[in-house]
């Protein structure tokens, strides 16, 4: 799985633009949270590039970039949780899940 790093607020504008032609996954991860580590590991172990080619993944380290997470909540109208995934299409959040509800098969079914 090849993560794109989400490390500045300006990248959110890029994500919105990219989401016009492909769906975008944002994974919000807390590096100090065992649940977040479990959800990330489960997603990475299940991920198959051939199945998920239509979903571009972005990784957000919440501890280092909390302001970006706050901006995501504001821009997409989704309450912050950790861990959390959001799927962005045409500039809108079309799916979100957190904690143990983060599921590879559900993400795959969105495509």
For the stretch 16-44, pLDDT in tens is: 999 999 999 999 999 999 999 999 999 99
- The answer to whether residue 1 scores a pLDDT higher than 90 is no
Per-residue pLDDT, averaged over 11-16, amounts to 96
The CATH code of the domain that includes 98 is: 3.40.30.10
Mention every residue, 6+ apart, whose C-beta is less than 8 A from residue 44: 1
Overall number of domains in the chain: 1
Categorize the per-residue pLDDT at 67 as very low, low, confident or very high, splitting at 50, 70 and 90.
very high
Alpha-carbon span 36 to 46, nearest angstrom = 16
Instruction: Give the predicted TM-score (pTM) of the model.
Output: 0.95
* Percentage of the chain modeled with pLDDT above 90: 98
pLDDT of 71 reads 96
Q: Which of 91, 94, 107, 79 is nearest to 14 (CA)?
A: 91
Q: How buried is 28 (Cβ within 10 angstroms: 0-12 exposed, 13-18 middle, 19+ buried)?
A: buried
Q: Domain range for residue 39? A: 4-110
């Amino acid at each position: 799985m090849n993560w794109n790093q989400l490390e500045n607020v300006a990248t959110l504008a890029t994500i919105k633009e990219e989401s016009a032609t492909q769906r975008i996954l944002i994974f919000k991860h807390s590096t100090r949270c065992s649940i977040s580590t479990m959800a990330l590991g489960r997603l990475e172990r299940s991920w198959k590039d051939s199945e998920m080619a239509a979903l571009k993944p972005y990784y957000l380290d919440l501890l280092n970039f909390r302001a970006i997470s706050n901006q995501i909540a504001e821009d997409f109208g989704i309450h912050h949780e950790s861990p959390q995934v959001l799927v962005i299409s045409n500039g809108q959040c079309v799916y979100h899940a957190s904690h143990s509800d983060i599921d590879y098969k559900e993400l795959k079914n969105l495509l």
